[in-house]
Homo-oligomer: A and B are copies of this chain.
């Protein structure tokens, strides 16, 4: 706990948008209220999914709520996001996703036609991924008590024997690999947001990464320390999270991070750092040095990893700083502290 963090004022405080932004404030809310109340080692492990043993092996379970606005955006909609996001959280444990559930909270007056479009694309995404939605729930609230539709998906998967990826496993010298260009999803959603619309050809990168992960595990399973999908809060939040969980630092090279020129331009226009912008079809892998080449080559051979790049290394650092070499020297990459991109997923 760093000294400059403000304590969560549970008695008098209120939830604000920063508590859903994937940054430091969200971490405080989750630790200060949920982890304290639910109090178990699964949550304290701080992964996006939790593992447990069943008679036949090890499984993982995960859940995510989706509140993206607008509901439809270039490259996807809230439904595809919900399917891909939950599959990806399972895949980040190196696990094979098996089944999904979906809970819909719908605002009175929402057109059936929109709901059908969302459901149809969820069905298509789930069939394409080979991960069926086997159970669900539908609730309706009065007009003005929700915003169109919210979807919470949960999922379960099976962990390959012998694989145990952990958020505290990064070690100095490990390679940091990103599977492709960053910021596409966030920019695509922002481009369609009311009062902000701008012209761009950028589409969301929303995709299910379990096929890519299966190839990576087959090629270098023993060398992969951990994987994360840099969604809310972007690469910056993901690297800071890993740094603090593994008690290490990162040294990243800005030039090596794949970034589309149109995304860079849109981020400049919006006043955003692409490192803070959400991705929905990308992963960050921390890999032991001896496995880095094999894992990177395997990723590049997969359509969803063709632009994969080794962007830096884990370093020993008691401060757990994420440092980045830039064209004009270097800087510290911090968490996003406020809420610049509400409802991006």
Contacts and interface: CB of A to CB of B under 8 A. Distances in A.
A15 B119 CA distance: 14
Interface residues of A, number: 88
B50 A134 contact: yes
A168 interface: no
Interface in A95-130: 98-99, 101-113, 115-116, 119-120, 122-123, 126-127
Nearest to A98: B52
Contacts of A59: 54, 156
Interface stretch (A62-70, A176-184, A187-195): A62-70
B67 A139 contact: yes
Nearest to A158: B54
A99 to B, nearest CB: 6
Interface stretch (A143-151, A238-246, A252-260, A268-276): A143-151
B105 A34 contact: no
B135 A62 contact: yes
A137 interface: yes
The DSSP consensus for interface residues of chain A is mixed
A172 B163 CA distance: 51
A301 interface: no
Contact of A33 (B19, B115, B127): B115
A336 to B, nearest CB: 14
Contacts of A136: 30, 34, 38, 43, 63
A14 B113 CA distance: 8
Contacts of A111: 13-15
13 contacts: A8-B112, A10-B113, A11-B112, A15-B109, A15-B140, A21-B140, A29-B112, A37-B122, A38-B122, A59-B156, A139-B150, A141-B150, A146-B146
Interface of A: 8-21, 26, 29-30, 33-34, 36-40, 42-43, 47-50, 52, 54-57, 59, 61-67, 98-99, 101-113, 115-116, 119-120, 122-123, 126-127, 132-142, 144-147, 150, 152, 154, 156, 158, 342-343
